[in-house]
Amino acid sequence: AVVVVGTLAMYLFRLDGVGISIVRNIPEGFPKFAFPSAGWDQLQQVFPAALTLALIGFSEAITIGKVMQQRHKDYEIHPNQELVALGLANMGGSLFQSYPATAGFSRTAVNDQAGARSGVASLFSALVIALTLLFLTPWFYFLPKAVLASIIMVAVINLIDLRYPRFLWQTQREELLMWGASVAVTLMAGIWEGLLIGVALSLVVMIYQTTRPHVAELGQFPGTNEYRNITRFDEVETRADVLVVRYDASLYFANLRHFQETMEGLIRKKGKALRLLVLNSESINGVDASALEMLRDWVDDLRASGIILYLSGVKGPVRDSLYRAGLIKRIGEDHFFLDVQPAIDYYDNKKEDWPAQFQAYAIQTNAKGGLDSPLLPRPQQEKKPEK
């Protein structure tokens, strides 16, 4: 109705003469079919721009798809399928001299407001566009561009979710800053610039978080085998001669300095009474070559200081890396435990409280034979009672 009324008003009162912009001529018919022809020099020239357009187009399509997925719980987006669909669409469109195709935020919003629920809506839209190009283009000569803009604005405004920045303010304020910076740059400079800023800020925050991860000194709940952060639970108990630490990140070259400085600070805080350091490794998902080199020197430094190092809850991939680097033997095969409490009991000479096979489980590795390696004793199977 808005399109019809706006077009009639423009035609009857000739409002284009007072400065209102109209669509004017739209070429009739379909573009000609032709195979793209380009030499090697042309391909080299357009490749950077094509790569940029592909990245922006795919990012925009996935972003819009995620928005639709949040609005419609029965809809699920598959990025791989979207990538294939965009690639095939652009390959087909290139035969008809088309612009690079991707999902449009405003077009998607209009489609959603119109009640579209499946891909059939796109087929219907394509049919209408085809009929329009063939027979109806003269009727759009007096269509005001402001009318088209109003349709898009009304549809898009419903997709703006002000609850999300409020949620970020309450939960992750650094993400709110990234969101605000990306939106501001997009509005002032463009989509590509906004995308670059968003990706760059995300990388900076991710690197910062991984280089300075959370570290917790753990204490024991009285009467239990549970160990928790001493800064969160006042009732946990610690010992002067034992330090239990949990490091909540993988060890790699960028956070090694933080690891060493944090450990040195906690050891100094404990004082000369410290004899045992238990590193709870449940949150360490991996170690790189630089970390393995650091651990080798760190183990030697602790031993020279008279401090025993135990590792608890070491994950399989980490054990494999330690094994390949020779660190399991260097640390001590009997210094690995499934949990913190067995480590403390072993230190207190309560070995009988934990089956011997648990020790083998704690240092199991798939590297170079795993349990069949000479390094590890195979856990003894329980004998079945005779019938």
Same domain flag for 191 and 225: no
**Of all residues in the chain, what percent carry a pLDDT higher than 90?**
43
The whole-number pLDDT of residue 373 equals: 46
Specify if 382 maps to a domain: no
- Predicted confidence (pLDDT) per residue in 323-342, tens digit: 999 999 999 999 999 999 99
Higher pLDDT, 234 or 191: 234
Same domain flag for 69 and 176: no
Specify if 89 maps to a domain: yes
pTM summary value: 0.67
Model confidence band, residue 385 (pLDDT cutoffs 50, 70, 90):
very low
Same domain flag for 292 and 354: yes
Q: Which of 278, 362, 349, 372 is nearest to 316 (CA)?
A: 362
Calculate mean pLDDT across residues 107-135. Answer: 84
Q: 136, 157, 178: which is the final residue of a domain?
A: 157
CA distances from residue 24 to 18, 20, 119, 134 in whole angstroms, order as listed: 15, 12, 31, 16
Which string of b and e fits 223-247 if b means at least 16 CB within 10 Å?
eeeebbebeeeeebeebeebbbbbb
Specify if 379 maps to a domain: no
The whole-number pLDDT of residue 370 equals: 44
pLDDT of residue 99 exceeding 60, the answer is yes
The whole-number pLDDT of residue 369 equals: 47
The whole-number pLDDT of residue 379 equals: 41
Same domain flag for 131 and 196: no
Same domain flag for 308 and 325: yes
The CATH number of the domain holding residue 326 is 3.30.750.24
Strand-strand pairing, 242-247 and 276-280: parallel
What domain range includes position 227?
Answer: 213-368
Q: Which amino acid is at 213?
A: P
Average pLDDT, the chain: 86
- Predicted confidence (pLDDT) per residue in 345-357, tens digit: 999 986 655 655 5
Same domain flag for 290 and 198: no
- At 68, is the secondary structure helix, strand, or coil? helix
CA distances from residue 31 to 28, 93, 96, 316 in whole angstroms, order as listed: 9, 10, 6, 60
Specify if 325 maps to a domain: yes
Same domain flag for 26 and 107: yes
Specify if 377 maps to a domain: no
Same domain flag for 145 and 180: no
Residues 6+ apart with CB under 8 A from 112: 68, 71, 155, 159
Same domain flag for 258 and 362: yes
Same domain flag for 196 and 249: no
Tell me the C-alpha distance between 150 and 2, whole Å. 9
Least confident of 29-43, 200-214, 230-244: 29-43
Specify if 386 maps to a domain: no
The whole-number pLDDT of residue 270 equals: 95
Specify if 381 maps to a domain: no
What total of structural domains would you count in the chain? Answer: 3
